[in-house]
Amino acid sequence: MPQIDPDKAQAQYDVIVVGSGAAGGQTAYTCALEGAKVLMLEAGRNYDPEKETPMFQTNADAPLRGTSTPDKPFGFYDATIDGGWQVPGEPYTSASSEPERKFWWWRSRMLGGRTNHWGRISLRNGPYDFKPRSRDGLGFDWPLNYEDVAPYYDKVEMLIGVYGDNHGLENTPDSPRGCLQPPPAFRAAERFGQHHGKKLGLPVIPIHRAVLTEKQDPAVLPAKIHPGNPRAQRLLADSMRARQACFWATPCGRGCSIKANYQSTTVHLPPALASGNLDLISDAMAREVTIGPDGRATGVVFIDRRTGKERVVKGKVVVLAASSGETVRILLNSKSTLFPQGLANSSGLVGKYIMDTVGASLGGQIPAMENLPPHNEDGAGGNHAYVPWWLYQEQLAGKLGFARGYHIEFGGGRQMPGFGTGAGLENITRGSYGRKFKEEARRYYGSFMWFAGRGEMIPNDDSFCDLDPVVKDKWGIPALRFHWKWSEHETRQAAHMQRTFADWITAMGGKPRSQPLADGAKAIEPGGKIIHEVGGAIMGSDPRKSVTNQWCQTWDVKNLFLTDGAPFCSNADKNPTLTIMALAWRASDYLLAGLKKGDL
């Protein structure tokens, strides 16, 4: 990916964007294609998925059969080339030594950030999700409605390419005609799960994922996405022609050299760079936002990771899109006489109300799926089906004991064998070896299914982050310290997940591979483990009770915007990436209008 040396940076840019993932990529794309001069700063190294994606290697070709290691938590071929829950030289700390109070912070130090390895699940927040407090009296309402964001969901879906369909379900928004690509057919395990899920009232439907099941139409979509901007239409059309439809060969977490799935590096950045309006500097660790005597942002101080030198770049507008945790760290480290408690922090809420997705899982062995004949079921590198939350009315009536819902991701079948293909069979066979072991491996391989819940967390006063008073990273930048606590709403939700999974497995004639946990505090995954952290700079309509307005513009600094997950007021059961991009596009349109008027 073409980039510039820090010495070649312009004297001043219209917009400086910190971060290159879903938020940074979308912000830079929107601004550059509308004619603004943009500088993007990425803390990680340059990365080109067209050249670096291992498209056809099998796990048998990898060390340890591709299994996870401390350096590669998602396996040898995962696209995260530099990063994880622990990054050498970049510590973070926990305020508590209790395991259940610790937060796991995932960082991807590479161009494109987490968009290179994410699950591509692209679900719209529904009307309830933007007004949760009005519904159940907990948490916060957003200062906007679904209708405010819907047009941007439309544009993002058409731009990145999302497969799925519409079912008219409660708080599971449909997309207008032309926004979605056709969903791939269900595989054997998904069809079997759908059939038996009906017994439990589970609506098993095609999931929405950012993967091309067919080529995009460059003659139609660019005009819908960029009406009245022929140059942007041309650039986007060229970019769309360079993308190919998925041919069902490679797990999406590896990245995609044919650009069939969405990555910022293959969708947002190529047309933005082709516009000539985007400069990119990688290995640029942002430390703080600089402020002028008038209280406006003037630029960003960063450390060149290759030389260790401090650099300063100037811009009319600064956009932090570095992931919610990193954005909070930059704000808290941007102290001055005007902002002694950190930038944009007059409310005292920077770092408060961080959230992650509630997660719990259970596996099962399904006898009906034993000895399946070999067949091709590779699919689109991830889920084809899921279960959206189906108990809104029961929950509203107070029948469940927890206030927010979850969706179910599930799957099974004969996926690519890994390190543990034969592991665990002794729990069924009581042990075997030689020819008998091979026979049993063939019999049972493909008969296992997994179920995972992904639920909404309600923001609480005990989940926040601040700066560690002692610990710093290798560049001398103070590290984040996390304070974390799940509430009973989340732990009860996790227990409900376990019961649902066990009932579903039983309905299929199967048996859970472990005892379902009745104690949700034991079933729930650690905070941060699902890698959906949001919050820390929530938006609102009152500057005393929020950090940004509905446009992701900070109340205290008019030309400072936060377009990642930091302004989220809640963390719906829908994966946050699609909403991050929609809000980033909306904020960018507002920002651009302000630049044209001279307000910023």
Tell me the mean pLDDT in the region 58-72: 89
Q: What are φ and ψ of residue 14, in 5° steps?
A: -65, -45
- How far from 578 is each of 125, 262, 520, CA to CA, in Å? 9, 11, 29
Other CB atoms within a 10 A radius of the CB of residue 12 amount to 14
Residue 97, pLDDT above cutoff 60: yes
184 and 176 Cβ atoms separated by less than 8 Å: no
Burial (Cβ within 10 Å: 0-12, 13-18, ≥19) of residue 86? middle
Residue 571 contacts by C-beta under 8 Å, 6 or more apart in sequence?
Answer: 355, 356, 357, 456, 457, 459, 532, 534, 535
Q: How far apart are CA 555 and CA 128, in angstroms?
A: 26
Q: Above 80 in pLDDT, residue 47? A: yes
**Overall CATH class of domain 1-55+72-155+263-357+459-485+534-600:** alpha beta
- pLDDT bracket for residue 589 (50, 70, 90): very high
Average of pLDDT values for 396-404? 96
Q: What is the pLDDT of residues 106-137, one digit of tens each?
A: 999 999 999 999 999 999 999 999 999 999 99
Assess whether pLDDT exceeds 70 at residue 420: no
Each residue's pLDDT tens digit, 168-222: 999 999 999 999 999 999 999 999 999 999 999 999 999 999 999 999 999 999 9
Largest CA distance in the chain: 78
Task: Give the model's pLDDT for residue 418.
Answer: 63
Rounded Cα–Cα distance for residues 140 and 456 (Å):
13
CA atoms within 13 A on the CB side of 582: 25
What are the distances in angstroms from CA 23 to CA 6, 61, 321, 523, 564?
Answer: 22, 35, 5, 31, 5
* Mean pLDDT across the chain: 96
CA–CA distance, 309 with 286 (Å, rounded to integer): 12
- Tens-digit pLDDT profile for residues 447-480: 999 999 999 999 999 999 999 999 999 999 999 9
- The SS3 call for residue 188 is helix
Assign 370 to helix, strand or coil.
coil
Using pLDDT thresholds of 50, 70 and 90, give the confidence band for residue 1: confident
Query: Which amino acid, 519?
Result: D
Span 488-513, pLDDT tens digits: 999 999 999 999 999 999 999 999 99
Q: Alpha carbon of 95 to those of 99, 100, 328, 463, 528: distances in Å? A: 11, 12, 17, 11, 15
Q: At 573, give phi and psi (nearest 5°).
A: -70, -10
pLDDT (mean) for 251-266: 96
**In sequence order, what are the beta bridge partners of 284?**
304
Within 293-428, strands assigned E span 297-304, 310-320, 358-365, 385-387, 406-412
Query: Which of 186, 132, 193 is CA-nearest to residue 570?
Result: 132
Cβ contact 299:2 at 8 Å: no
Asked whether the beta carbons of 574 and 533 are under 8 A apart, the reply is no
> How far is the C-alpha of 259 from the C-alpha of 212, rounded, in Å?
9
Residue with tokens 């982050």, as numbered in its chain? 465
pLDDT of residue 562 exceeding 70: yes
Mean pLDDT of 160-172: 98
Render pLDDT for 316-340 as a digit per residue (tens, 0 to 9): 999 999 999 999 999 999 999 999 9
pLDDT at 425 (0 to 100) = 75
The mean per-residue pLDDT over the stretch 423-450 comes to 84
List phi, psi (to 5°) of 238: -60, -40
pLDDT score, position 442: 87
Query: In a 10 Å sphere around its CB, with 0-12 CB exposed, 13-18 middle and 19+ buried, how is residue 88 labelled?
Result: exposed
**Residue 376's pLDDT is what?**
80
pLDDT for 426 equals 75
HEC-encoded secondary structure of 82-95: CEECCECCECCEEC
With b for 16 or more beta-carbon neighbours within 10 A and e for fewer, the 245-282 pattern comes to: bbeeebbbbbbbbbbbbbbbbbbbbbbbbbbebbbbbb
50 CB burial (10 A radius; 0-12, 13-18, 19+): middle
pLDDT at 256: 96
Q: Which is higher by pLDDT, 25 or 431?
A: 25
- Token look-up 């107070």 returns 398
Q: What's the whole-number mean pLDDT along residues 428-446?
A: 86
Q: Which tokens go with 381?
A: 């590198």
Tokens of residue 488, six digits: 């009973």
Q: Which residue from 360, 121, 147, 133 is spatially nearest to 252, judged by alpha carbons?
A: 121
Q: Please tell me the distance from the alpha carbon of residue 172 to that of residue 498, in angstroms, as a whole number.
A: 23
Token pair recorded at residue 360: 């719990």
pLDDT score of 378: 82
CA of residue 246 relative to chain centroid, distance: 21
Average pLDDT over residues 57-86: 91
| C-alpha distances out from residue 517 to 303, 488, 498, 501, Å | 47, 15, 6, 11
pLDDT digits (tens, 9 = 90+) for 338-365: 999 999 999 999 999 999 999 999 999 9
State pTM to two decimals: 0.97
| Annotated domain spans of the chain | 1-55+72-155+263-357+459-485+534-600, 169-206+358-455+487-523
pLDDT of 423 reads: 57
Asked whether 15 and 31 are in contact (CB, 8 A), the reply is yes
A 10 A CB-CB count for 63 gives 9
Pairing relation of β-strands 464-472 and 278-281? unpaired
First CA to last CA distance, the chain? 30
- State how far the Cα of 576 lies from the Cα of 320, in Å rounded to an integer: 17
- 325 vs 321: CA distance, rounded Å: 10
CA atoms within 13 A of residue 66's CA, in its CB half-sphere: 19
C-alpha distances in Å from residue 490, one per residue of 121, 296, 463:
22, 40, 13
| Banded pLDDT at 150 (limits 50, 70, 90) | very high
Alpha-carbon distance 372 to 365, whole Å?
14
CA 575 to chain centre: 6
Query: The tokens of 137 are what?
Result: 């009296």
